[in-house]
Structure 1
């Protein structure tokens, strides 16, 4: 007697074609009863997309290829499973995610997600860290930087300022999410001052309003220094956002034109983003030889087995759109990090390591070594979000999911840094002395300059109040700490 065909088997029997060209096609045909689609289209889309693409698909029993057989009884069981959670978000979180997954997420509107990938968000322009007071429920915030041309840019608030409450309510571990990242567009920060290294509220207040569609250029600072006979370039880059690749390249070229011999790359507030932009920046720093491997992708076994090496390997590049990349050609780079440096920031460090000396200065990074892509209900395009196909997305389902698809390993095969990348020169930021970004005496930049010039012993590296952040403003943005694989498909 013939055995029932499982939906997973049907998926594997489908045509699977993935090319590295822009005209790539990858086909995963639908295999589930139309009744399931009609009753719960969002959950149906989520299950099918996750069953194929999810990195931990084999580890989640409800995503198993043989979980639901393609029989009338099996289809009924599948429909009942989809209906077990009325809220699609709860269905995604409770039924489809692996317990070790810290970063997969969803959004009811794919447009909000894709805007975030382009650096557009609802924000007041205040970027801050949050610190929990030891042996206490209390929390306070400190300003990291202000986004230019934002609401905060026009207010009396600056890097290093401290706040301990919102709308008259003291911040705690249990309320800071609601107070700072809730639906209210406007809030008032209750400011504070350091007194004998203790955060003490004062009477000063700053009212800020979140703006819709605020666009942040991640190329925050770019300048050069002539110090101790060295020509040092400094670049603060705050998100791997592919919409600003040309701005990034222009900044690097300006540094090259100034004749720099050393580069300090500041990624301490960079939570990640585009994998392709990471490859571009690596090429700008090191070399543009397209025969040098930048990374190799590791998907789940089902996807991995179907792909050729040419579809898994990503190389350095000599092209940015229609432009030829002129690399800095460095054999050493100094990278500044914090505990908020994540995802594509860590990927850049890891993928440059086999080729050049990466001098890592700062704090242990976040440990986000998985990549994702945006999946939508475009079933003839294998659920992959493609800008030119937005009219093909199911009009009855505008949800998007951003699941982890795999991990990237460098040319040496290393990828295991879930505990973060440990710096060569440990140095936490100092709440008592954050310094001015881009100034030669700012503590982390000063330490890099000291390493470059060999001026050891001339500067104290004592940290009076080391910052161990509880959270930060970027963690609660839609893109958050994500590494988005756009090297072959999706958001490019």
Structure 2
């Protein structure tokens, strides 16, 4: 891989800020707009992936300092300017974000947040378009909920005694402390949904969110299938701080002579691109040095286009590789970004059998940029805590194929249903059971299951910074240094 000196990158950013000569001498007197708005425009002009699609980000957009200042002053809030610079928010760029407090945000990226340890899906009750019920999909290890004994599959239909509706569910479940009122699902002994109902119970549990750091390596197990060992891994986020734990999971698989792997990414919203390349290298091992995935930047930053390769080690550690030619990946509509990168990148080399639901559909990577001379976390403007996480590059595989915005379609469609969530890692859990049946060679069961329930999308924050695929700032700077 060829590397560019950091100085070149800094100059490149400087050029991005000063393409028009009349802006070379900008100062506080010339620019009367908010310093935050100034940062927002400069940052987006420098690195935004869809810069060419936004006329207001053109390098020659403003003829004078005054015109530039008037433009910035026309936006009352930095968020307003930021949204004005986003390309097709509803369909293309659903993911770029402006960050009011980068200190809290950095904690989120490290996996630390206030949480009670519950992840859940919300649905409309059978026969209703307003009444809502929830089902616990995941209880994080060593969390408040875990210590209280809550379990995947438990159903609730009220909070603090108030029945859930589409209009109140966000406010009720976004509280730091609340009481879940549990219910049961009654299918009335039939296969149809028309006569199903949610039955309230007197059982409840109060939960209070605490500062919590999630180890994304949620669960591992070894399953014997006709004398062959199947490794099963529930992996919930590509967090660079837990690369060693991920590698240790594959050491367990390696030590048990795993011949098949089921990679459960159904609740994995993404994370570090570099960690995603490590995971691909752990699944395989026979492609070291070959291109795993590529990042393609905007037209002004084509010099930064780069390849991520299969590797055999990181941070002085050897990667524990399984040398597999086939992997099973479990997905839902929550599987996004780096999860999709893994499927897309591996599929160019080995057989990837995707089971579950179509993924989110996000092929772009982002980076955290700060109000500093070179947009990094060095010499940050102390007058505010704003940062941005814009999309800056498209991720494609070695064959130049990107993840479609509609998501990756599973080879075997099987939608999670609150009628039968099952226990993660149990051989009868529906998605895992399908993978094991295919490994055993007894045929693909329950193909193309119809969508019985569609989860309701709300503004409830369940997992920090969902649907994220980011480029590590330090790692990006290291790539730009001369090795």
TM-score by length of 2: 0.88
Q: For residue 121 of structure 1, what is the aligned residue in structure 2?
A: 113
Instruction: Give unmatched runs, 5+ long, in structure 1.
Output: 1-17
> Offset of 1:21 from its aligned partner?
8.1
Q: Judge which range, 422-431 or 349-358, deviates more.
A: 422-431
Output the CA distance in 2 between the equivalents of 1:473 and 1:62: 29
Verify the 8 A CA contact 1:368 1:481 in the aligned structure 2: yes
Deviation at 1:326, TM superposition (A): 3.3
Inter-partner Cα distance in structure 2 for 1:176 and 1:161: 17
Whether the aligned pair in 1 keeps the contact of 2:295 and 2:393 (CA below 8 Å) is yes
Asked if 1:369 is matched to 2:363, the reply is yes
> Which structure 2 residues correspond to residues 141-180 of structure 1 after superposition, within 5 A?
141-180=134-173
Q: 1:374 to 1:490 in 2, by over 3 A?
A: farther
Aligned residues of 2:170 and 2:459 also touching (Cα < 8 A): no
Aligned with 1:238 (options 213, 225, 236) = 236
The equivalent residue for 1:137 is: 130
Of the three residues 406, 415, 418, the one matched with 1:431 is 418
Shift of 1:228: 1.2
Secondary structure at the aligned position of 1:447 is classed as helix
How many angstroms does 1:163 deviate by?
1.7
- Distance in 2 (CA, whole Å) between partners of 1:115 and 1:156 is 27
Residue 346 (str. 1) matches residue 344 (str. 2) = no
The CA deviation string for residues 162-193 of structure 1, in whole angstroms up to 9 with x for no partner, is 12222333333333332223xx3112223222
Asked whether the 8 Å contact 1:50–1:96 carries over to 2, the reply is no
Instruction: Provide the rounded CA distance (Å) in 1 between the counterparts of 2:452 and 2:292.
Output: 35
1:313-339, Cα deviation, whole Å (9 max, x unpaired) = 221112211112231100000111111
Please name the residue that 2:201 is paired with.
202
**Paired residue for 2:329?**
335
- The residue that corresponds to 1:190 in the other structure is 181
Q: Secondary structure at the match of 1:34?
A: coil
Say which SS state the counterpart of residue 10 (structure 2) adopts.
coil
Give the secondary-structure state (helix, strand or coil) at the position aligned to 2:261: strand
| Alpha carbons of structure 1 residues 324 and 165: separation in structure 2 relative to 1, 3 Å | same
Contact 1:55 1:404 in 2 (8 A): yes
* RMSD between aligned residues: 2.5
Q: In the TM superposition, what whole-angstrom CA distance separates every residue of 1:303-358 from its partner, at most 9, and x where no partner exists? A: 12x34xxx522211122111122311000001111111111101100000110000
In structure 2, list runs of 5 or more residues that go unmatched: 188-195
- Of 323-332 and 196-205, more deviation after overlay is shown by 196-205
Cα drift, residue 451 of structure 1: 0.4
Who is 1:441 aligned against? 428
Instruction: Work out which of the residue numbers 397, 404, 407 in structure 2 matches 1:420.
Output: 407
* Cα distance, 1:470 vs structure 2: 2.1
Distance 2:98 2:279 in 1: 28
Question: Which position in structure 1 is the counterpart of 2:438?
Answer: 451
* Equivalent-residue separation in structure 1 for 2:459 and 2:218 (angstroms): 17
Is the CA contact 1:430–1:464 (under 8 Å) kept in the aligned structure 2? no
Structure 2 CA distance for partners of 1:143 and 1:169, relative to 1, 3 Å: same
Between 1:122-131 and 1:470-479, the stretch displaced more is: 470-479
- Other structure's SS at 1:479 match: coil
- Residue 199 of structure 1 deviates from its aligned partner by 2.1
The secondary structure found in structure 2 opposite 1:122 is strand
Of stretches 154-163 and 139-148 in structure 1, the one that deviates more from structure 2 is 154-163
Of 43, 46, 57, which residue of structure 2 is paired with 1:63?
Answer: 57
Pair 1:105-2:74 in alignment: no
CA-to-aligned-CA distance 1:220-264 (integer Å, 9 cap, x gap): 011101121221110110011110000000001111100110000
Aligned to 2:308: 314
Q: Distance in 1 between matches of 2:400 and 2:451?
A: 38
Instruction: Report deviation, 1:113.
Output: 1.5
1:234–1:486: structure 2 CA closer, same or farther, 3 Å change rule? same
CA contact (8 A) 2:263 2:328 kept: yes
What is the aligned length?
A: 456
Measure the CA separation in 2 of the matches of 1:159 and 1:428. Answer: 16
Residue 460 of structure 1, CA deviation: 6.2
CA distance in 2, matches of 1:219, 1:491: 27
**Residues 434, 446 of structure 2: 8 Å contact kept:** no
CA contact (8 A) 1:271 1:345 kept: yes
Of 277, 289, 292, 2:290 maps to 292
Name the structure 1 match of 2:372: 378
Q: Quote the Cα distance in structure 1 between the aligned partners of 2:8 and 2:239.
A: 22
